[in-house]
Amino acid sequence: MSSKKYKNVYLDDYFTIVGPLEKESHLKKYNLSMDDYYYKEKTFEQAEVKMQSDVVNNLKKNNSLNDSDIDLLVGGDLTNQIAVSSYNAKNYNIPFLGVYSACATFPEELILASNFVDCSGFKKVITVVSSHNLTAEKQFRYPVEYGAPRPHTSTFTTTGAIATLVGKRESKIKIESSTIGVAIDMDISDANHMGAVMAPAAASTLMRHLTDLKRDASYYDLILTGDLGCVGGKIFQDYLEKNYNVQLKNYMDAGCELFLDSQETYAGGSGPACLPLVLFCKILTTKKYKKILIIGTGALHSTTFVNQKMSIPAIAHAVSLEVE
């Protein structure tokens, strides 16, 4: 069984930073914002390292934590060899795990943190995840300055960073259960159609979660996928109905919920920061949803394999949250 229920694991606190476009979007309550993509650094990559550092340092400060109080730091991002997370981790004397599931990195981090807290006696684990539009676009597609045309199916990489504190201290957000997804390849090689690549993986993980825990989709007030986008979200719903006879009435995609229509972000937002920013800075601010299933979706491709005409595998990981 790829799902696990937790006894007393909580998301104690979080800290967020949003990019210059994101602060003008649907996001309401964030902690810090950037005026430009350089963030007072010389390069975009160095800016993203600073983004991670700022959210971790502020999370530690707000909770009066020293490095010695933290059992584990789990970090991830989109850069090659998750370099941003590694360069941030060297600033701390904290055991570090670097992880990568593309845009599904955030729930993967929560799953690892929750398992360590639930099973190994760890008391406090910090997770940090980030994405930066101008570092990711030039790595996976083209530099933005190049001005390459984009189809309507493409998504816009979100700029932002999020740090969370996971532990046993009771809080308003309980991490109730999780499901680890399997890699699925539907023989699609279009790097500008990530929604179609990832939708079957999201459906597979959702059905694994519901089957393992003997639940119906209606158990949740909200099922929130990470960044299928407005096109991929429809594919996801159609795929569920056709292959599993499941119709979702409680569904949103974070990529569709982030940007304004006037911001012209194609099919919506994407990137590892997309899901947590929408969750923390929009969904939770409404106080409408008590049982939330987040499903992070990631395309596990590289430019090397795409240029070799290889298809793109996808992954999806799910975490169930109970909110007071």
When pLDDT is cut at 50, 70 and 90, the band that residue 198 belongs to is very high
Report the chain's terminal Cα–Cα distance, integer Å: 28
Report the pLDDT value the prediction gives residue 167, as an integer from 0 to 100: 98
Report the pLDDT value the prediction gives residue 272, as an integer from 0 to 100: 97
Residues 70-77 have a mean pLDDT of 98
Only one residue has tokens 């069984």, namely 1
Tell me the sheet residues that pair with 184.
314
Of the chain, the percentage scoring pLDDT greater than 70 comes to 97
Report the pLDDT value the prediction gives residue 86, as an integer from 0 to 100: 98
Residues 17-35 have a mean pLDDT of 96
When pLDDT is cut at 50, 70 and 90, the band that residue 249 belongs to is very high
**Tokens representing 62?**
């707000």
Report the pLDDT value the prediction gives residue 195, as an integer from 0 to 100: 95
Please choose, from the candidates 296, 144, 318, 150, the residue with its C-alpha nearest in 3D space to the C-alpha of residue 227.
296
Separation between Cα atoms, residue 237 and residue 42, nearest integer Å: 43
CB-based burial, 28-44: b 16+ in 10 Å, e otherwise: eebbbebeebebeeeeb
Q: pLDDT tens digits for 289-303?
A: 999 999 999 999 888
CA 15 to chain centre: 14
Coil vs helix vs strand at 32: strand
Report the pLDDT value the prediction gives residue 143, as an integer from 0 to 100: 66
Tell me the sheet residues that pair with 224.
252, 294
Please choose, from the candidates 281, 282, 312, the residue with its C-alpha nearest in 3D space to the C-alpha of residue 297.
312
Question: CATH number of the domain at 3-167, please?
Answer: 3.40.47.40
Separation between Cα atoms, residue 246 and residue 209, nearest integer Å: 14
Report the pLDDT value the prediction gives residue 62, as an integer from 0 to 100: 98
Is 173-323 a CATH 1.10.357.10 domain?
no
Same fold, 3-167 and 173-323: yes
Of the chain, the percentage scoring pLDDT greater than 90 comes to 87
Separation between Cα atoms, residue 272 and residue 1, nearest integer Å: 26
When pLDDT is cut at 50, 70 and 90, the band that residue 152 belongs to is confident
Q: How is the chain split into domains, by residue range?
A: 3-167, 173-323
Only one residue has tokens 């990568």, namely 100
Q: pLDDT tens digits for 32-59?
A: 999 999 999 999 999 999 999 999 999 9
Q: pLDDT tens digits for 201-235?
A: 999 999 999 999 999 999 999 999 999 999 999 99
Cβ neighbours of residue 139 closer than 8 Å, sequence gap 6 or more: 78, 79, 80, 303
When pLDDT is cut at 50, 70 and 90, the band that residue 192 belongs to is confident
Report the pLDDT value the prediction gives residue 255, as an integer from 0 to 100: 96
* Cβ burial, residue 322 (10 Å; 0-12/13-18/19+): middle
